[in-house]
Structure 1
Amino acid sequence: MTAATLLFLPPDDSQPWRWWRIRDDAVEHEGEGLPEVGVDDHVVAVAPADAVTLHWATLPARSPAQALAAARVVVSDATAEPAHDLHVAVGRERAGDRGGERAIAVVAPSRMAAWLAALAQRGVDPAAVVPAPLLLPEPEEGYVRADLPGQAVVRGRTTGWADDPLLTGLVTRGEPPLALDRDAVRAAAIGAVAAPVIDLRQGAFARRRRRAAIDWALVRRLAVLAGLILLATLAIDVVRIMRYSFGADAIEGRAAAIARQALPRGTGEGDAARMLGERLSALRGPGQGFTRTAAAVYAVVEAVPESEVTALQFEPNGALRVSLSLAGEAQANTVKSRLAAAGFTVESSVFQQSAGRLTGDMTVRP
């Protein structure tokens, strides 16, 4: 850790605040009161040992929510108060032969809120809140004791508390804790600040992340990239439209060339498709043309029994004069009505009876 401030919360209001300034893995300064702390300074608050109860339990690797739920079960078996009325924090897994075991800290929510409020009034938003006993090194066996600013604490492998002659003797069963010298305490505290065993700022008391300042240079680069993407998309659409346009022009040119091949030699310049249509109309004849009109007449006559066409005459106005020989008047009326239903206008001449047949003419127009 390059620089940090260790701020010791006083056990009660009658005691002063104390602090250590850590720089380059050493305690550079210490003092009473509140140090000058900047907005971006790394501040770690130290909670008094008598306000925090510590437990250790094996909590299998789970999600944070599941680990917290399991920790509340452990706490409920060791406290008279309901676990949901306490602030419970879960530490990281312990490495080594006791992997999977985690520290569990329990503190009254009112105390936690009061500490953070007092710090906020002094313009301090700590990055973490660490129980005081966890600043001491974890002993291989037995217990260790040290005097921290404002309070003496004791720590064992799975315990930690504020030193009290009666309580300490009961917990250690008369075994005197090993007293740590000043340098050992400070070295352990520096390591604990760099990688806290447990941080009380969890759940409702978690530190709020400050929104990062807007990087306008990045915003401008993103805007340029977005503009380039839009331009590339527009260029793709323009190229596609041009390809379609050139393709359509090529198809129209080929169609005109093919149409001009069907025109007679010597035809002047002009719209080949229009001139081809005019020639087709001239060959086909006016109206619907001879072929379509004659085909419709023959189809109707063939469908009427004992009826036949005896002559056809196609007029320049598109009318087709049809001479018919029929078995009787009923057949004549049937032919006329069916031609009318096929979309033609039919005019009948006077039919005459001769040799047992009815003969006459019908003029069929579009």
Structure 2
Amino acid sequence: MTTATLLFLPPRIGDPWRWLRIDGDAVAARGEGVPEADGAPVVAVAPADAVTLHWAALPARSIAQAAAAARIVVSDASATPQEQLHVAVGEAEGEDRPIGVVSAARMREWLDSLLAIGVDPATMIPAPLLLPATEDGFVRADLGGQAVVRGPASGFADEQGLTEFITGGVAPETLDRAALERALASAAAAPPLNLRQGAFMRRRRRAIDWALARRLALLLALILLATLAIDLATIARYALAADRLEAQADAIARRALPRDAGAVADASRALDERLSRLRGPGQGFTRTVAAALSAIRPVQGAEVEALDFQPNGDLGITVTVDGDAVANALQARLRDAGFAVSGGAFESTGGRLKGQLTVSSR
């Protein structure tokens, strides 16, 4: 069942708006002015004298490709520059497809006037195409205050002199009311040609799917919750691992402490204190002696006779050398190794020099 409102565009400025409301296969209401919105789709009807109709065999391609081919077909039939024309292609009727040619400026005027009354139709049909197609002969009807004629491959406004010329003197058959209403219902349900194509296509307003939006919001919340749970689980795992390592370190430190150490609150600190006592002050006995001997060993003619590690971390070194030059070279090597060197009073003993140096960490 077809339910639609046909709104006829006035042929001239100042003419009244006329409309027909189709319900099923019959006209349920008619009137002048702007129809009340009842939810039924509005089909705008363009005046017959403003749209030139052609029929041509066009390839069954997309609307854009067919319109481009139609421009080539109608280019020789219009004196108006192509850029000022709007060309629309309809559904195939046998081997041919209807082509509508209208001024682009006129299309803009119509759409602006419709928007001014709060109407934005998805479909705009040239008035002659509301009449049924004929295999031969012509049919006539009054639509929206204008008489129109349609033939096998023509459609135009009924004007005295012009009609006889196009029909070859054959008088068009006037449709009765029932046949006209059936034709109107059929054209409203399946428009043979819609002028709203290309630059004048209706822009679809996308409604917000709130159910989908809620589902997406819930999904996003679940993703964030899962991410937070993963982070919390990772933090907890790292915390447990750190506690386990700390407990292992504490157990190892306790095994390294003397048995008579008793209960120790901080085993790690107690172990550090014991190592400090064993190692000695400063850099400790082992590091200090190793560094000093490494500095002395390359000096030719120098021998270490005694070592004396002091409680304050200083190291006393008794050495014998072959001469003053060797003694100076020895002290330079120790300073280069990072030690502060004091003493250095050498005495001659058995043809060699003997003295004591005190080195300490800087």
- 1:246: which partner in 2? 240
1:363 corresponds to 2:358: yes
SS of the aligned residue for 1:266 comes to helix
Residue type of the alignment partner of 1:20: L
SS of the aligned residue for 1:189 comes to helix
| Structure 2, unaligned runs of 5 or more | none
Alignment of 1:227-242 (within 5 A): 227=221, 229-242=223-236
- 1:185: which partner in 2? 180
- 1:26: which partner in 2? 25
- 2:133: which partner in 1? 138
- C-alpha contact (below 8 Å) 1:105/1:200 kept by paired residues: yes
Equivalent of residue 194 in structure 1, options 189, 198, 205: 189
Distance in 2, matches of 1:7 and 1:349, equals: 120
Residue type of the alignment partner of 2:43: V
- 1:52: which partner in 2? 51
Given the two structures, how large is their TM-score scaled by the length of structure 2? 0.83
Q: Structure 1 residue 5: deviation in Å?
A: 0.9
Residue type of the alignment partner of 2:19: W
Q: Are the structure 2 counterparts of residues 347 and 154 from structure 1 closer, same or farther at C-alpha, using a change threshold of 3 Å?
A: same
- C-alpha contact (below 8 Å) 1:145/1:152 kept by paired residues: no
- 1:37: which partner in 2? 36
Of 281-290 and 171-180, more deviation after overlay is shown by 171-180
- 1:94: which partner in 2? 92
- C-alpha contact (below 8 Å) 2:91/2:193 kept by paired residues: no
Distance in 2, matches of 1:183 and 1:106, equals: 30
How many residue pairs are counted as aligned between the two chains? Answer: 358
Equivalent of residue 314 in structure 1, options 309, 317, 335: 309
Q: Are the structure 2 counterparts of residues 178 and 321 from structure 1 closer, same or farther at C-alpha, using a change threshold of 3 Å?
A: same
- C-alpha contact (below 8 Å) 2:27/2:181 kept by paired residues: no
- 1:266: which partner in 2? 260
SS of the aligned residue for 2:7 comes to strand
Alpha carbon RMSD of aligned pairs, Å?
A: 3.4
Equivalent of residue 299 in structure 2, options 289, 304, 307: 304
Alignment of 1:195-214 (within 5 A): 195-202=190-197, 205-207=200-202, 209=204, 212=207
SS of the aligned residue for 2:77 comes to coil
SS of the aligned residue for 2:281 comes to coil
Distance in 2, matches of 1:279 and 1:14, equals: 110
Deviations 1:70-107 (A, max 9, x none): 54444432200112122x14235538x74xx6543222
Q: Structure 1 residue 200: deviation in Å?
A: 2.3
Q: Are the structure 2 counterparts of residues 52 and 292 from structure 1 closer, same or farther at C-alpha, using a change threshold of 3 Å?
A: same
Deviations 1:118-147 (A, max 9, x none): 5455554433221012223334x4354131
1:80 corresponds to 2:79: yes
- 1:323: which partner in 2? 318
| Structure 1, unaligned runs of 5 or more | none
Q: Are the structure 2 counterparts of residues 312 and 122 from structure 1 closer, same or farther at C-alpha, using a change threshold of 3 Å?
A: closer
Given the two structures, how large is their TM-score scaled by the length of structure 1? 0.82
SS of the aligned residue for 2:184 comes to helix
- C-alpha contact (below 8 Å) 1:146/1:181 kept by paired residues: no
Residue type of the alignment partner of 1:47: A
Identity of matched residues, %: 52
- C-alpha contact (below 8 Å) 1:116/1:125 kept by paired residues: yes
Distance in 2, matches of 1:358 and 1:171, equals: 140
Q: Structure 1 residue 44: deviation in Å?
A: 0.9
- C-alpha contact (below 8 Å) 1:46/1:131 kept by paired residues: yes
SS of the aligned residue for 2:312 comes to coil
Distance in 2, matches of 1:349 and 1:113, equals: 109
- C-alpha contact (below 8 Å) 2:26/2:178 kept by paired residues: no
Q: Are the structure 2 counterparts of residues 311 and 158 from structure 1 closer, same or farther at C-alpha, using a change threshold of 3 Å?
A: farther
Distance in 1, matches of 2:92 and 2:225, equals: 56
- C-alpha contact (below 8 Å) 2:253/2:267 kept by paired residues: yes
- C-alpha contact (below 8 Å) 2:16/2:33 kept by paired residues: no
Distance in 1, matches of 2:148 and 2:297, equals: 122
Residue type of the alignment partner of 1:314: F
Distance in 2, matches of 1:310 and 1:143, equals: 138
SS of the aligned residue for 2:308 comes to strand
- C-alpha contact (below 8 Å) 1:347/1:362 kept by paired residues: yes
- C-alpha contact (below 8 Å) 1:43/1:127 kept by paired residues: yes
Residue type of the alignment partner of 2:30: G
Distance in 2, matches of 1:234 and 1:151, equals: 71
Q: Structure 1 residue 188: deviation in Å?
A: 3.0
Q: Are the structure 2 counterparts of residues 195 and 297 from structure 1 closer, same or farther at C-alpha, using a change threshold of 3 Å?
A: same
Distance in 1, matches of 2:152 and 2:359, equals: 117
- C-alpha contact (below 8 Å) 1:144/1:180 kept by paired residues: no
Q: Structure 1 residue 168: deviation in Å?
A: 4.4
- C-alpha contact (below 8 Å) 2:17/2:34 kept by paired residues: no
